[in-house]
Amino acid sequence: MSDPTRTASRSVLGTVLMVALIATACGGASTDPTDTIEVTGAWARSSPMMAMAGAAYMTIVNHGDSDDALLAAAVADTVAGTAEIHETRPAEGEPAESMGDGGDTAPLMEMVHVERIDVPAGATVVLEPGGLHVMLLDLVEPLTEGAEIELTLTFETAGEVVVTAVVGDGPG
Amino acid sequence: MPLPLRLLVGVLALLTAGCGATGPPELAGVVRTPALEVASVRLPAAEDGRPVAFQADPGELLIVYFGYTFCPDICPTTMGDIRAAVADLPDDLAERVSVVFVTVDPVRDTPEALERYLGNFFDEAVTARTEDLDDLQAAADAFGVRFEIPEPDPTTPNYAVAHTAVTYVVDDTGTVVVEWPFGFERKPMTADLQALLTKERL
């Protein structure tokens, strides 16, 4: 069931569905829903043997009345050297569409370090494959299916939020 | 086409696959006109340097992807989707699908790194690697792949290589028969492979 959930998240409608799904199914990987900032469905893709980098994904909900922003992510040095917030996106000047019907203009995808991810009041922001993600650099050892890694997220207003990301092929 | 529409097309393709339609298979992925011909492309295999031809064995299909092992996001996502799509095929069809991964980061992607990386996804996958960037560019051009390796900078060993993220399916004549942009769903991938593998010519 993990794959349909993850792939559905690539559409706006799917995002809503995914949030609903995760809210009901993935209590283990969620923060306290009564907090202003709630993080659900945190997961990290199982990493190939000897891969140096990994990626973690999650859904961030701001239940509060004021805007917030994710500023940084950290991970224990037993898991990875550093964690950074990254975004995979079409490079500047590239078509935003993944590909035209003629098939001749697929965008050049670049990965950039982002300083902050804004999470406006009442908004839900999804970190998902092909978009925003927490990149884990210099992995100490491969991320194996079923393992749990602790991520410390630093928000501008809410401060530190600790989430557990489950290693697998998709959320939940 | 917006992604949600693609999903719909994919689902429709899946629903109509196997309805006994005649003629060329309707595919969910992108079919280019005229089709790309890549039979003449050769790159050395990472493992032993023997030339890798971008042409499937008779009656089979070859899935080709240009990426790099350091890529933590879209490359493993795509590899995972391809693995799942092939695994969803009936066994007799799945064994007629092979995968070639071409590294666009030959400096960091040593043959050993590539073997371990692809081994995580596929029992048997061929990796192609050349440090001759002109040869790599020529192969990429044949597919319409673009990539940008940043200038070497000792302070950023964790550099990213920008690249197009399209998966190509090549038949036994070296023709690209369908292309899947990044984010393409695994179910229409499976449907496309099934349609291509079961059409009369094969």
Q: Is the pLDDT of residue B71 over 70?
A: yes
CA distance B185 to B176: 19
Is the confidence at residue B30, as pLDDT, over 60?
A: yes
Q: What pLDDT, on the 0 to 100 scale, is given for residue A26?
A: 41
Q: Does B20 contact A at CB distance below 8 Å?
A: no
Q: Do B164 and A109 touch (CB under 8 A)?
A: yes
pLDDT at residue A147 above 50?
yes
Q: What are phi and psi of A29, to 5 degrees?
A: -105, 20
> What is the model's pLDDT at position B117?
87
Number of other CB atoms surrounding residue B58 within 10 Å: 10
The answer to whether A98 contacts B72, with C-beta atoms less than 8 Å apart, is: no
Quick check: B179 and A99 in contact, CB under 8 A? yes
Burial code of B104-124, b = ≥16 C-beta within 10 A, e = fewer? bbbebbebebbbbbbebbbee
| For residues A132-150, average pLDDT | 92
Q: How confident is the model at residue A17 (pLDDT cuts 50, 70, 90)?
A: very low
Whether residue A53 and residue B165 make contact (CB cut-off 8 A), yes or no, is: no
Closest B-chain CA to A107: B164
What pLDDT, on a 0 to 100 scale, did the predictor assign at position A46? 84
Does A98 lie at the interface with B, CB-CB under 8 angstroms? yes
Nearest to residue A74, comparing CAs of A132, A135, A29, A120?
Answer: A135
Q: Mind telling me how many Å the CA of A90 is from chain B's nearest CA?
A: 9
Residues B77-127: tens digit of each pLDDT: 999 999 999 999 999 999 999 999 999 999 999 999 899 888 888 988 999
Q: For A50-66, what is each residue's pLDDT tens digit?
A: 567 889 999 999 999 99
Cα radius of gyration rounded to whole Å, chain B = 17
- Residue A2's pLDDT is what? 42
Q: Which residues of B touch A55 (CB under 8 A)?
A: 72-73, 76
Which of chain B's residues have a Cβ under 8 Å away from the Cβ of A107?
Answer: 164
Nearest Cα to Cα of residue B142 among B55, B64, B36, B46: B36
Confidence (pTM): 0.78
> Which residue would you say has higher pLDDT here, A107 or A152?
A152
Q: What is the mean pLDDT of residues A141-145?
A: 88
By the CB < 8 Å criterion, does A137 face chain B? Answer: yes
Minimal-distance CA residue of chain B relative to A135: B72
What ipTM was assigned to the predicted interfaces of this complex?
A: 0.74
What pLDDT score was predicted for residue B151? 87
* Rounded Cα distance, B116 and B111, in Å: 9
DSSP code of residue A64:
S
Most B CBs within 10 Å: which of A88, A127, A128, A143, as the mutation test of the B interface?
A88
Interface test with B, best of A7, A113, A145, A169 (most B CBs within 10 A): A7
Put simply, whether A143 touches B (Cβ < 8 Å) is no
Task: Please say whether the beta carbons of A37 and A62 come within 8 A.
Answer: yes
C-alpha distances in Å from residue A114, one per residue of A158, A168, B72: 19, 25, 16
CB-closest option in A10, A13, A102 to B183: A10
Query: What residues pair up with A151 in beta bridges, in sequence order?
Result: A75, A163
Confirm if A167 and A148 have CB atoms less than 8 A apart. Answer: yes
| Interchain pair B179, A130: CB under 8 A | no
Q: How would residue B64 be classed by pLDDT, with cut points 50, 70 and 90?
A: very high
Percent share of chain B, pLDDT over 90: 67
Please tell me if residue B186 touches chain A, with a CB cutoff of 8 Å. Answer: yes
Is residue B11 predicted with pLDDT exceeding 60?
no
B147-148 and B162-164: which strand pairing?
A: antiparallel
Query: Reduced to 3 states, what is the DSSP secondary structure of residue A7?
Result: helix
Q: Are the Cβ atoms of A108 and B76 closer than 8 angstroms?
A: no
pLDDT average, residue stretch A9-33: 47
Question: In a mutagenesis test of the A interface, which of B77, B143, B177 is the best target, namely the one with the most A β-carbons within 10 Å?
Answer: B77
Assess contact for A167 and A146: CB atoms under 8 A.
yes
Q: Which CATH number among 3.50.50.100, 3.30.420.40, 3.40.50.1220, 3.40.30.10 corresponds to the domain B27-150+159-198?
A: 3.40.30.10
Peptide bond into B34 cis (omega under 30): yes
Angle, in degrees to the nearest 10, between helices B3-16 and B186-198: 40
CB A139 within 8 A of CB A51: yes
Q: Cβ atoms within 10 A of the Cβ of A121, count?
A: 12
pLDDT class for A12, splitting at 50, 70, 90? very low
8 Å CB contact of B74 and A109 = yes
Looking at beta carbons, which residues of chain A come within 8 Å of B148?
A: 91, 108, 110
For chain A, domains (ranges, CATH) are 2-168 (2.60.40.1890)
